[in-house]
């Protein structure tokens, strides 16, 4: 082989030589530049993506839909959550094994339907009409407790700052410079700094409305800051004495001033309605004490009767003289007015006392008339907002639904036309249905409550009755059990005529389920479930989707 290779080389050389005799000489090429090794540029080669396990892809896709459904559920969007949960299961159904043949898929499948089932049951329970709006402890309890302790002595610097501030800032309340007010300014700048700052921020959205109402009623605008001491501007504040809302109305006082309170609603938590009631009450107290705002504010805390007795027994009608001794009023009332004065001083010039001004857009909303009891989560979904946003706009609602019958609901600005359009096309099933019971001879609230598995307190409250009230034969009672669509979003076969007033939901069969157990859970029968789902036997498997019609009558 080597000899043949040499012959080939020689032959080629001869040909080249012969050609060279007839071709013009070629200029030698320029030498190639020498590139140092460290300067060599090596082109990048894209890495080849590793092949993904198709089972892992299915599980990840299913889990992604489930997680998205959870997020929608947290926002109160039931329909969107249901669609996503359905997708999470449908992804597995679409696999070659139907979600059950491969061990990893089967394990994920079972865990998935168990989680979805648990969330459906939770959503059903939360929307059953019993869920109460959250409340927070009223700050007045803690503030007055602090006021009974030893207060800090005012510093020379604070005294000088406040004196200069009072000389330059106009106030429409009679604020004087004294150690009791200065001590509370020190306290708000010290141990209660966070409370004061948070109150200024919360109050920013309410102040335009409050001052507008007070201006209409001819009240001093500085009185608006009384709400800092009462509630820190928390509309859901509830005191240990059962006072509620921004202005901390007691139940009886609230009713006297037109604030409705029942099982569905407590208008003491309605910022605007309670502010108008507070304005009327403060005007009444002011007249009662001959135009003295200090005594009027003190009576707002202690009650007008108690303050009148203190004035009468002391023969003193000057607040500062009346409260200079502990003989006539408790310490919390003696410190109540100076606490308000300190709050007014700081709120009018927060930066001067080391606080940030409260900044927030003013309270704004649209109003729509809802014809009957409607789940707030449905409203949240229609308006593309969250359940918390709808509740924040309607803090007077004590439940997750609007009251039975017509109700004016506040919705985010710009969404009223959307809600009205959805209401116009809504079916009767959109609204919650409450059961009614006609009282028979010998029945009591307690026996009826046991029959319907509700508390006597809820039953009495829903009907505006005392828990020990006697019932009249043939009296009609509202049973506080609202229907709820839970996570049902798929169209289902219409139920039989006997269940026309029902809630339709989707139930995913989980490990250990039987038709009998599911029937008991939803207060129905095995035969009904089989009929609704066209089942010819009682055999069900994990992940099977069942349509349930929950009777509301």
Catalytic residues: 230
Helix (H, G, I), strand (E, B) or coil at 276: helix
Structural element, H or E, at residue 93? helix 78-93
Phi/psi of residue 418, nearest 5 degrees? -65, -50
Least Cα distance to 158 among 451, 354, 382 occurs for: 354
Q: Which residues have CB under 8 Å from 142's CB, separation 6+?
A: none
Task: Give the whole-angstrom CA distance, residue 427 versus residue 502.
Answer: 12
Question: How many other β-carbons are positioned within 10 Å of the β-carbon of residue 7?
Answer: 9
Strand 136-137 vs strand 237-238: parallel, antiparallel, or unpaired?
parallel
How wide is the angle at C-alpha 26 spanned by C-alphas 23 and 28, nearest 5°? 155
Residue holding tokens 């020379």?
A: 156
Element (H, E) at 508: strand 502-508
How many whole angstroms from its chain centre is CA 59? 32
Q: Is 366 helix (H, G, I), strand (E, B) or coil?
A: strand
C-alpha span between 495 and 551 (Å, rounded): 10
Q: If DSSP codes are grouped into helix, strand and coil, which group holds residue 435? A: strand
Supply 281's token pair: 């009450």
C-alpha 158/C-alpha 152 separation (Å) is: 12
Q: Which residues contact 441 (CB under 8 A, 6 or more apart)?
A: 473
Q: Give the H/E segment covering residue 418.
A: helix 416-425
Using left for φ > 0, alpha for ψ between -120 and 50, and beta otherwise, residue 398 falls in alpha
> From the centroid of its chain, how far is CA 180?
39
DSSP codes of every residue in 300-341? HHH-HHHHHHHHHHHT---HHHHTTSSSSS-HHHHHHHHHHH
Which value, in Å, is the radius of gyration of the alpha carbons in the chain?
Answer: 37
């Amino acid at each position: 082989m080597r000899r043949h290779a040499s012959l080939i080389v020689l032959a080629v050389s001869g040909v080249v030589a012969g050609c060279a005799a007839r071709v013009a000489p070629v200029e030698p090429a320029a030498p190639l530049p020498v590139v140092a090794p460290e300067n060599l540029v090596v082109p990048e080669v894209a890495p080849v993506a590793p092949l993904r396990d198709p089972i892992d892809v299915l599980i990840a896709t299913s889990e992604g839909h489930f997680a998205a459904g959870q997020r929608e559920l947290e926002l109160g969007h039931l329909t969107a959550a249901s669609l996503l949960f359905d997708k999470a299961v449908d992804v597995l159904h679409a696999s070659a094994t139907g979600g059950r043949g491969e061990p990893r898929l089967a394990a994920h499948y079972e865990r998935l339907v168990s989680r979805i089932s648990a969330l459906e049951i939770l959503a059903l329970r939360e929307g059953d009409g019993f869920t109460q709006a959250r409340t927070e402890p009223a700050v007045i309890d803690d503030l007055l407790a602090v006021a009974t302790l030893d207060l800090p002595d005012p510093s020379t610097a604070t005294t000088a700052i406040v004196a200069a501030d009072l000389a330059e800032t106009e106030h429409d309340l009679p604020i004087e410079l004294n150690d009791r007010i200065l001590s509370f300014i020190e306290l708000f700048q010290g141990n209660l700094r966070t409370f004061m700052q948070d109150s200024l921020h919360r109050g920013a959205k309410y102040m335009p409305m409050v001052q507008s109402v007070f201006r209409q009623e001819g009240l001093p605008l500085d009185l608006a800051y009384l709400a800092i001491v009462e509630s820190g501007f928390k509309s859901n504040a509830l005191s240990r004495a059962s006072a509620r809302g921004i202005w901390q109305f007691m139940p009886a006082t609230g009713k006297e001033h037109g604030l409705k309170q029942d099982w569905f609603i407590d208008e003491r938590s309605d910022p605007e309605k309670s502010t108008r009631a507070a304005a009327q009450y403060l005007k009444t107290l002011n007249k009662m004490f001959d135009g003295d705002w200090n005594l009027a504010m003190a009576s707002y805390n202690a009650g007008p009767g108690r303050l009148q007795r203190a004035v009468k027994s002391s023969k003193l009608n000057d607040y500062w003289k009346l409260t200079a001794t502990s003989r006539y009023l408790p310490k919390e009332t003696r410190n109540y007015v100076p606490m308000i004065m300190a709050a007014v001083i700081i709120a009018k010039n927060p930066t001067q006392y080391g606080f940030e001004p409260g900044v927030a857009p003013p309270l704004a909303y649209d109003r729509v008339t809802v014809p009957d009891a409607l789940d707030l989560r449905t409203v949240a979904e229609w308006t593309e907002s969250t359940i918390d946003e709808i509740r924040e706009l309607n803090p007077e609602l004590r439940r997750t639904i609007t009251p039975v019958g017509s109700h004016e609901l506040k919705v985010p600005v710009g969404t009223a036309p959307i809600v009205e359009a959805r209401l116009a096309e809504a079916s009767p099933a959109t609204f919650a249905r409450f059961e009614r019971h006609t009282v028979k001879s010998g029945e009591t609230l307690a026996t009826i409550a046991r029959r319907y598995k509700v508390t006597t307190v809820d039953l009495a409250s829903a009907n505006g009755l005392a828990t020990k009230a006697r019932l009249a034969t043939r009296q009609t009672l509202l049973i506080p059990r609202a229907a709820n669509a839970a996570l049902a979003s798929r169209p289902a076969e219409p139920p039989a005529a006997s269940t026309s007033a029902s809630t339709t939901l989707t139930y995913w069969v989980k490990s250990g389920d039987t038709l009998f157990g599911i029937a008991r859970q939803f207060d129905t029968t095995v035969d009904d479930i089989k009929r609704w789902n066209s089942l010819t036997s009682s055999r069900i498997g994990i992940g099977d989707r069942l349509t349930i019609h929950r009777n509301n009558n």
